[in-house]
Structure 1
Amino acid sequence: MLARLCEAIGGKRGALGVSTMTGKVSIAALHGLTWSAEDDRSLAINPFLPLVMVQPIDRALVASRDYGLEALHATRYYREYVRPRGLRDLIGYRVTDEGDTFGNWVLITGEDRDVLTPAEIAGVELVAPHIRRAVEISQVLGAQRIAADSYRAALDEIDAAVLIIDGQSRPTYANPRAEREVAGGAVLRLQDGRVRGASDAAERALRRAAGEDARRPGGIEASLVGADGEERLLFAVGLDIGGAGEGADWPTLLVLRTPRDDTRNPVAIAARSFGLTPAQVQVLAFLTQGHTPDGIAEILGVSVATVRSHLADLFAKSGTSRQAELVGRTLSLASPLRPPGQL
């Protein structure tokens, strides 16, 4: 679908990946322009990442419409990355939120065409919920895709326990957090090579997950209290790979997370808590990455006075008076279950 959308608008690149607030990206699917070291280096000065980070799910962020070409052309990102590659416009979406890690996809057009039209934007917006649904349910996975390093890398970045078990409850994939969860045994544990529930309620949920309930649209979700006293949400969905059909021995995707996982993005929390504008979000995001006001002004292509004006507003809204205090206050908003920046 990503490739078809990209081709439909004459795009140069379509990409689906996992990003962090610190500017790290793991690409799960790519169409068009290959990903290079220059792409990785450009992330540190990308003015769109802070905005996508707090963008509502499935709401389009369009460079020409929402950011403005004049503002974009003033940025260091445009000078050093966009213009040398002959790129012009983009439309991007946030589709998942895993604390300070978020899934997103983007379509990028080149200078061989004009900016995206309202009709093209509307067409892509119609498709966006379906892409999100596909990502949520299958994590862009089938059994064959799991073997692909790019998809495995994307799942490894997700800050939720993700497991795939076969019809006999044997694990065929577990990302790092899932390995820790199973080793801890608070909700799920490994017994005789099979994933079992650590409590009666967890075992019942696993049985439902392995049965017909998980194959219905939307799968199942259960709230469980672990042996450590923490609540977990267990989501399960059957993966019908290769059209296995009715009665087949489907593998099952399990996602185990805490209700507080969505609160671990301190910049997003600050944006909601303090009522920040998009420009203030950008300044705050780059501040938390260690940039100075002068450096932020260069990145965004605005004056230092403008950045300091946003800083003054950030101080007023957050009840702080110094940059270090503002950054500390922002990072303190993250859940104490994980140190800031740890994936």
Structure 2
Amino acid sequence: MPGNREFRSDAEVVGSLFARAPFEKEGWNTALQALRDVTGSSRAQLLALGSRFQAFNWATDTPPEYEAEFIAAGGLRADVNYRVGATRAPMELTWEAHYDQVRQNGTDEAYLDHVRKYDAEFGAQIVLSQRPGMFFGLAVLHGPAEGRTTETQRAILETVAPEVLAAIRMQDAIEHQGIALLRGSLEAFHSPAILLDALGKVCDATESARNLLGPGTLQIREGVLRAPRPDLDRLLQGRIVAALAGQGEGAADLWLRSETGLLLVDVRTLPRQEWSFGFAPRVIVTLRAPLGPAQAQARTIGSALGLTLAEGEVVALLAHGHSRQQVATLRGVSVQTVISQLRTIFQKCGVNREAELVALARAVMEMGPR
């Protein structure tokens, strides 16, 4: 391995950028660009495959359609992509000498067109981690202008690889910590919620949500949230797919009826991090059993706020996150009736807005019996 000062300095700078990558907004992109520059490459690439997270292929300076073109060209297949065919054990460097051996057996022209289009016919790569359910790889890509990689360029890639793997593990820990923090916040508000990752798999659930799961409501099978009937399950999966695509913004309207009463299932998209490995939750599924908790708490709310039992039920339902329309549907009355009741409730409670009323009710619910 080269021992000159410039080599060590370049490797240290790039390694430190990868170490900071999980903590900075554009950290991964910045680190990859630095790796590209110090290795004299056209691009640097970090990719992942596996069942534990969302597969991705991040290459610097590529258009949005790059990843789709890579897959369409057969980039994931060992019989098409000579880089995949030449892959070695984790932390063992692979470069043009190994690519040449694979290419002697034949070269796929469609894949060659793809790599030439993106100045990526040559280069070097290293598998960072490979075990059941996950694969991470790092590469530098060269085109005709850059030529084949040099020993120094390959040494830099090999030197920074352990730093990159450590950063990936840190990102994993941070994203899982985010899950724990989010679940803790939901537990504090007694919110029955289930968190799904970027693949739509269940990554966590609050205790109150697990208490609502069962044959008549929802079940978790092989990591997938399922509804009891095929027609309801199709609706549920459709909402999950939409939420994963960032379209989980519609009104909650998926109702399940079980022996214990009605259950409203609400599927929402969580804020997305631009640079995420897919460990972090992407979708939240909240479960609302309005009649049971609301009826149980209506008397407490009514007693505390000087309301009738019917008024207490209206307030309890609102405090559980239901809209006025949903309150009307659950109580079997018109929306106008609910609005009329709220005018009286506002006056009795000395508030002017629904948000104030809900905050007051939740404070009572928090202090009252559960």
Common fold by TM > 0.5: no
Structure with the higher fraction of residues in strand conformation: 1
Larger radius of gyration: 2
TM-score by structure 1 length?
0.40
TM-score by structure 2 length?
0.37
Whose relative contact order is higher, 1 or 2, with alpha carbons under 8 Å and at least 6 apart?
A: 1
